[in-house]
Amino acid sequence: MNAGKNLKEGLIALEEDLVKLNDELQREAQCIPNLTHPDVPIGGEDSSTIRKMVGSVPKFSFPVKDHLQLGKELDLFDFDAAAEVSGSKFYYLKNEAVLLEMALLNWTLSEVMKRGFIPLTTPEIVRSSIVEKCGFQPRAKNTQVYSINDSDQCLIGTAEIPVGGLHMDSILAGSILPLKYVAFSHCFRTEAGAAGTATRGLYRVHQFSKIEMFIFCRPEESDYYHDELIKIEEDMFSSLGLHFKTLDMASEDLGAPAYRKFDVEAWMPGLERFGEISSASNCTDYQSRRLGIRYRPSEALVPGPKKSKGNLAPPQFVHTLNATACAVPRMIICLLENYQQEDGSVLIPEPLRPFMGGLNVITRKS
Partner 1 sequence: MDLQGCLNRTTFQSLKLTSTPSSSSSPFLFPSLYKTKTPTIHSPKFPFPRLTKPLPTSSASVVQTSPATTNISSEQGGKPQWKATIDFKWIKDNKETVAANIKNRNSDADLELILNLYDKLFILQKEVERVRGERNVVANKMKGKLEPSERQILIEQGKNLKEGLIALEEDLVKLNDELQREAQCIPNLTHPDVPIGGEDSSTIRKMVGSVPKFSFPVKDHLQLGKELDLFDFDAAAEVSGSKFYYLKNEAVLLEMALLNWTLSEVMKRGFIPLTTPEIVRSSIVEKCGFQPRAKNTQVYSINDSDQCLIGTAEIPVGGLHMDSILAGSILPLKYVAFSHCFRTEAGAAGTATRGLYRVHQFSKIEMFIFCRPEESDYYHDELIKIEEDMFSSLGLHFKTLDMASEDLGAPAYRKFDVEAWMPGLERFGEISSASNCTDYQSRRLGIRYRPSEALVPGPKKSKGNLAPPQFVHTLNATACAVPRMIICLLENYQQEDGSVLIPEPLRPFMGGLNVITRKS
Q: How far apart are CA 180 and CA 213, in angstroms?
A: 7
Q: How far apart are CA 69 and CA 67, in angstroms?
A: 5
- By CB under 8 A, is residue 56 in contact with partner 1? no
CA quadruple 19, 20, 21, 24: dihedral, nearest 10: 120
Stretch that binds partner 1, among 14-22, 31-39, 148-156, 194-202 (CB under 8 A): 148-156
Is 189 labelled a binding residue? yes
Q: Which of 7, 18, 45, 94 binds partner 1 (CB under 8 A)?
A: 94
Stretch that binds partner 1, among 38-46, 145-153, 255-263, 307-315 (CB under 8 A): 145-153
Q: Which of 96, 128, 189, 281 is catalytic?
A: 189
- By CB under 8 A, is residue 125 in contact with partner 1? yes
Q: Which of 127, 200, 289, 296 binds partner 1 (CB under 8 A)?
A: 127
- By CB under 8 A, is residue 113 in contact with partner 1? yes
Nearer to partner 1, 114 or 306 (CB): 114
Is 207 labelled a binding residue? yes
Q: Which of 82, 213, 254, 264 binds partner 1 (CB under 8 A)?
A: 82
Residue 174, SS3 per DSSP: helix
The per-residue DSSP string of 181-226 comes to EEEEEEEE---TT--SGGGSGGGS-SEEEEEEEEEEE-GGGHHHHH
Nearer to partner 1, 161 or 280 (CB): 161
Identity of residue 58: P
- By CB under 8 A, is residue 146 in contact with partner 1? yes
Least distance (Å) between residue 77 CB and partner 1: 10
One-letter-per-residue 3-state SS of 259-309: CEEEEEEEEECCCCEEEEEEEEEECCCHHHHHHCEEEECCCCCCCCCCCCH
- By CB under 8 A, is residue 96 in contact with partner 1? yes
Residue 245, SS3 per DSSP: strand
Nearer to partner 1, 156 or 264 (CB): 156
Buried b (16+ CB within 10 A) or exposed e, 302-330: eeeeeeeeeeeeeebbbbbbbbbbbbbbb
Is beta strand 361-362 parallel, antiparallel or unpaired with respect to 260-268? unpaired
User: Is there a catalytic annotation at residue 366?
Assistant: no
Instruction: Say if residue 31 is exposed, middle or buried (CB neighbours under 10 Å; 0-12, 13-18, 19+).
Output: exposed
The single-letter DSSP state of residue 164 is H
Nearer to partner 1, 183 or 266 (CB): 183
Residue 78, SS3 per DSSP: strand
Nearer to partner 1, 273 or 364 (CB): 364
User: Is there a catalytic annotation at residue 115?
Assistant: no
For the beta carbon of residue 134, count every other beta carbon within 10 angstroms: 26
User: Is there a catalytic annotation at residue 279?
Assistant: yes
User: Is there a catalytic annotation at residue 364?
Assistant: no
Least distance (Å) between residue 58 CB and partner 1: 26
- By CB under 8 A, is residue 193 in contact with partner 1? no
- By CB under 8 A, is residue 358 in contact with partner 1? yes
Question: Which residue positions form the known binding site for L-serine?
Answer: 158, 189, 212, 322
* Residues marked as catalytic: 189, 204, 276, 279, 330
* Residue numbers at the binding site for partner 1 (CB under 8 A): 75, 78, 81-82, 84-87, 90-96, 98-99, 101-103, 105-106, 109-110, 113-114, 116, 118-127, 130, 146-150, 153, 162, 165-169, 184, 186, 188, 206-207, 209, 353-359, 365-366
